[in-house]
Amino acid sequence: MNNSKNYPIIKSESEWRDKLGDEEYRVLRQKGTEQPFTGEYNNHFEKGIYNCRGCDTPLYLSENKFDSSCGWPSYDKSLPGALKYIKDTSHGMIRTEIVCAKCGGHQGHVFNDGPSTTGERFCVNSASIRFDGE
């Protein structure tokens, strides 16, 4: 996990384990990835806001969500300042990891293949977010 001292919200690993379910902990704190097409928000298109499941920080607006057919919730942008970007060279690839700027919780990755005017696709794990409807 990222050095938690770099984030305003700091918890011990036991505190995170107490707060999060097993899959949420694996994704948010251990940089895991849920299986494609299995997340509760993959085909979810209600109006509202998606928050970090770790610390409840608003991250994405529903108006920025689109169906990318990649198997994970996708957005063409995040809320300003909501995420930190980290170079990820794991698995023999060069990618950009996205984490919550408040707690460092792993969200997923951002790619430059989005269909909108931003050209970006924020590929996010459902286990790392929570939806608040309007």
Q: How many residues does the chain have?
A: 134
d(Cα 33, Cα 108) in Å, to the nearest integer? 8
| Angle formed at CA 91 by CA 103 and CA 107, multiple of 5 degrees | 25
Question: In angstroms, what CA-CA distances link 35 with 16, 78, 104, 106, 126?
Answer: 22, 22, 21, 15, 10
123 catalytic? Reply is yes
d(Cα 117, Cα 104) in Å, to the nearest integer? 27
d(Cα 41, Cα 13) in Å, to the nearest integer? 26
User: Which residue in 52, 55, 100, 123 is the catalytic one?
Assistant: 123
Which residues are marked as active site?
Answer: 123
